[in-house]
Structure 1
Amino acid sequence: MVTFRRTLCRLACILLPLLAGGAPGRADPPPPLARGINITGWFRFPPSREPAALDSYLSDAALLDLRAAGLDFVRLAVDPDMVADAAGSEALLRAIGRIQRQGLAVIVSPHPVHWRLEAQPGRLRAFWQGMAPQLRALDPVRTVPEIVNEPVFPHDPAGWATLQHRVLGDIRAALPHATVVLTGQDWGSIKGLLALAPEADPDVVYSFHFYDPPELTTLAAYRAGLDRAALARLPFPAADRAGCGRAAAAAGDAPTRELMRYYCALGWTEAALRKPIDQAAAWARMHHARLLAGEFGASAALNPPARLAWLRAAGAAFRANGIAWALWGYDDVMGLNVPRPPPARPRLDPAVLAAIGLPAIGLPAIGLPAGRAEANAAQGRASPRQAQTCGQPQPRCATPGSGT
């Protein structure tokens, strides 16, 4: 009888978890990914690559302020070339550990600067074959690998899906139960997401980046030689097309006026902004998938009413659809605009925090001189795609994201 009871107990231990939730898998709860911030300059274009400088890039007090502001994760942009040697990878692991000790999860997001994955897919696989085993030493719940930032693969969603599947397998070999962030091609856009066939893996999140319309949010950073001061006067919402047209007419050159009129003609409103986000949410519902807006933001050089209205509208659309988000970025002109390297306890802009639905934490707004903001925009947001010159009458031939 005793043996029979012991056998029943053992069977119950095996069967009860299956009845409650399916096949055995992750023992830990999924990571807290709801409200996040991109840290853009720590392991990507840092002021110094010396290990001591990397260790001191961001203070514990600054990280605690992010937690106090209501954020629960950091998306850490990492140039793979920076962590290719032991000194760089050890500095990265120390930084991730420090962030996690403040109660924040960390998305480890490779942002290669010089790679062309269409021709060199092995570089991404080699990166994760080396990095994923090192991440095993960290908090398994709060460590979230992301396949790669903004894959391009123009007109080739199948080619990107094949590579992403293989890289996911490389990560799973070392981190079988980690949450992994996947994305579509076309620079991680919503269009790329909609073309993606989901993976048969329960522990993944699907990311997209959102900067529509880039003529407003990035001041058309994809195109050189325009009047940025004029573009910074664009309104949002742009329901008053006559008023928008007057702003366009004041531009100092014909190409800028034409682009501004193009923006005005589109009549961007909160409803128009929400439409592509709703499409992404519909894709997620159809595939029972979790979504992350891994990047969104608007230039600090944009006039404050338009900038804050755009941030409010984007944040409201994410919340309405249950989409997690990460502002780009902490130390970037598109977000909180903290200088690089950050001071010991940077002041966080309460207007930006409020616009994205976070409480202010008693810290006054931070501001950079216009020249510094423009320099940050040129350094931190210019990507190969942004640098393209788009021809008229199709100025949106390239929609900017953060770039690799």
Structure 2
Amino acid sequence: MNRAIHSLTAVLALAGTLACAAPPPHVTQVPIACTQVSRETCAIAGRLGRGINLGNMLDAPREGDWGVKLEPAYIDLAADNFNTVRLPVRWSNHAAPTADATLDPKFAARVDQAVDALLARGAYVILDVHHYTQISGDPPHPHEQTVDPAVVDQRLINLWKQIATRYRDRPPRLIFELLNEPHGRLDGEPWNRLAAQALAAVRESNPTRTVMIGPGGWNSVDELPRLRLPADRNLIVSIHNYDPFDFTHQGIDYLAKPFPVGTRCCDAGQRRKVEDALDKAQRWSQAHGVPLHLGEFGAFEKADIDSRAAYTRLVRDEAEKRGIGWTYWELASTFGVWSPANGQWVEPLRRALLD
């Protein structure tokens, strides 16, 4: 998802001792498609359950650019209340602009702290490459470096060689996600080819770690038919769904054509959009024998709070009916379930996700 525009009132360092505690045992309740994956990856898919994105923190061009930093309190909130934490990271902006994409050691150590703190709390952690805008052909965000187009794809492969090697000794609860929301120039076969190369780079050091791959079109369910997975028994497919889009994205001023504020949710037609998308995804999963994860859904803060809660509960329930674990977008920014300004849960959203 796109950037935060909400300011944060308190800024703390990530350092600090965190007590170990297992997250709530929320698991999916119905069988999931696993005929083409290993027993361990199938078990992980079923245990991901209810999750949260720590969005707009380490995926901003520079941490803090989008109004929120990764604080110890956020790690506590995420790990204490959710099974799974998705950690979006803009690695590409903290690496050499050359094909080797050598990582900035200071930034990589910052990510290490977050990953290890979450793992110490017993959470499943999904670590991705997020907001590598140039790879999909998008214009750069402010403060984002650009590179020679000839090395864009190779940098992703070399980023994964380094990331995978760095975390190869972490427990299986750490899951790699190759790229957030491929789209544009990557749609179709270009992404199929590049994903296979990036996965091969991971497999050099992590032969059996569970890896997530999403379809093109911003991880769209409609792009699943064009997704051609590598022959690998440790994969989960990640989908995103923000339908009805005119509701979930109303009032966002950085869209090319902003949606007006005032759309409510959820009438019969809106419910059908959510249900149809997840039905389509479930049919694909069953036909291919690969489990799914709903990596993002959520509604921007300009929508009325009752509608946001109704939408959130709808998507949560429909995903869980189909045995699909999820990670809500996101904890503490403009789609957030926690208010940094008030220092408390946005309670209708918390109930919709967890009660």
Q: TM-score range by the shorter chain?
A: 0.7 to 0.9
How far off its partner does 1:224 sit?
4.7
TM-score normalised to structure 1 length = 0.66
- Structure 2 vs 1, CA of residues 274 and 43 (structure 1 numbering), >3 Å: closer, same or farther? same
How far off its partner does 1:188 sit?
1.2
Secondary structure at the residue paired with 2:318? helix
Map residues 106-121 of structure 1 onto 2, 5 A cutoff.
106-117=125-136, 120-121=152-153
The superposition leaves residues 136-156 of structure 1 with CA deviations (integer Å, 9 ceiling, x where unpaired) of 242x21211100111114584
Residues 1:131 and 2:163 are matched in the alignment = yes
The superposition leaves residues 270-308 of structure 1 with CA deviations (integer Å, 9 ceiling, x where unpaired) of 123210111001100111111011000001210122211
Equivalent-residue separation in structure 2 for 1:66 and 1:317 (angstroms): 22
2:71 is matched with 58
2:207 is matched with 176
- Asked if 2 retains the 8 angstrom alpha-carbon contact of 1:153 and 1:160, the reply is no
Residues 1:320 and 2:339 are matched in the alignment = no
One-letter code of the match for 2:264?
P
Residues 1:203 and 2:234 are matched in the alignment = yes
Residues 1:161 and 2:192 are matched in the alignment = yes
Map residues 3-402 of structure 1 onto 2, 5 A cutoff.
30=44, 32-45=47-60, 48=63, 57-59=70-72, 61-69=73-81, 71-80=82-91, 81-82=93-94, 84-117=103-136, 120-138=152-170, 140-154=171-185, 156-219=187-250, 221=252, 223-224=255-256, 226=258, 231-238=260-267, 268-339=269-340, 346-356=343-353, 358-359=354-355
How far off its partner does 1:214 sit?
1.4
- Structure 2 vs 1, CA of residues 211 and 136 (structure 1 numbering), >3 Å: closer, same or farther? same
- Structure 2 vs 1, CA of residues 180 and 301 (structure 1 numbering), >3 Å: closer, same or farther? same
Say which structure is richer in helix: 1
- Structure 2 vs 1, CA of residues 218 and 23 (structure 1 numbering), >3 Å: closer, same or farther? closer
- Asked if 2 retains the 8 angstrom alpha-carbon contact of 1:26 and 1:177, the reply is no
How far off its partner does 1:26 sit?
6.1
Secondary structure at the residue paired with 1:108? strand
Equivalent-residue separation in structure 1 for 2:37 and 2:290 (angstroms): 18
The size of the alignment, in residue pairs, is: 296
- Asked if 1 retains the 8 angstrom alpha-carbon contact of 2:42 and 2:291, the reply is no
One-letter code of the match for 2:347?
P
Equivalent-residue separation in structure 1 for 2:159 and 2:186 (angstroms): 25
Equivalent-residue separation in structure 2 for 1:98 and 1:161 (angstroms): 33
Equivalent-residue separation in structure 1 for 2:122 and 2:319 (angstroms): 23
Equivalent-residue separation in structure 1 for 2:87 and 2:38 (angstroms): 30
Where relative contact order (Cα < 8 A, 6+ residues apart) is larger, the structure is: 2
- Asked if 1 retains the 8 angstrom alpha-carbon contact of 2:36 and 2:289, the reply is no
How far off its partner does 1:183 sit?
0.8
One-letter code of the match for 1:149?
N
Equivalent-residue separation in structure 2 for 1:154 and 1:195 (angstroms): 14
Equivalent-residue separation in structure 2 for 1:214 and 1:220 (angstroms): 11
How far off its partner does 1:62 sit?
4.1
- Structure 2 vs 1, CA of residues 144 and 271 (structure 1 numbering), >3 Å: closer, same or farther? same
- Asked if 2 retains the 8 angstrom alpha-carbon contact of 1:154 and 1:186, the reply is no
The superposition leaves residues 216-256 of structure 1 with CA deviations (integer Å, 9 ceiling, x where unpaired) of 10116474575x6xx332121245xxxxxxxxxxxxxxxxx
One-letter code of the match for 1:146?
E
2:13 is matched with none
Identity %: 24
TM-score normalised to structure 2 length = 0.75
Secondary structure at the residue paired with 2:295? strand
Equivalent-residue separation in structure 1 for 2:263 and 2:175 (angstroms): 37
- Asked if 2 retains the 8 angstrom alpha-carbon contact of 1:153 and 1:159, the reply is no
The superposition leaves residues 148-198 of structure 1 with CA deviations (integer Å, 9 ceiling, x where unpaired) of 111114584112111101111110111111110111111111112232123
Q: Which has the larger radius of gyration?
A: 1
2:14 is matched with none
- Asked if 1 retains the 8 angstrom alpha-carbon contact of 2:337 and 2:347, the reply is no
How far off its partner does 1:42 sit?
2.8
One-letter code of the match for 1:234?
T
One-letter code of the match for 1:106?
V
1:393 is matched with none
Equivalent-residue separation in structure 2 for 1:183 and 1:24 (angstroms): 19
- Structure 2 vs 1, CA of residues 22 and 159 (structure 1 numbering), >3 Å: closer, same or farther? closer
The superposition leaves residues 62-118 of structure 1 with CA deviations (integer Å, 9 ceiling, x where unpaired) of 43333442x111111101123621111111112100111111111111113442257
Equivalent-residue separation in structure 2 for 1:130 and 1:160 (angstroms): 20
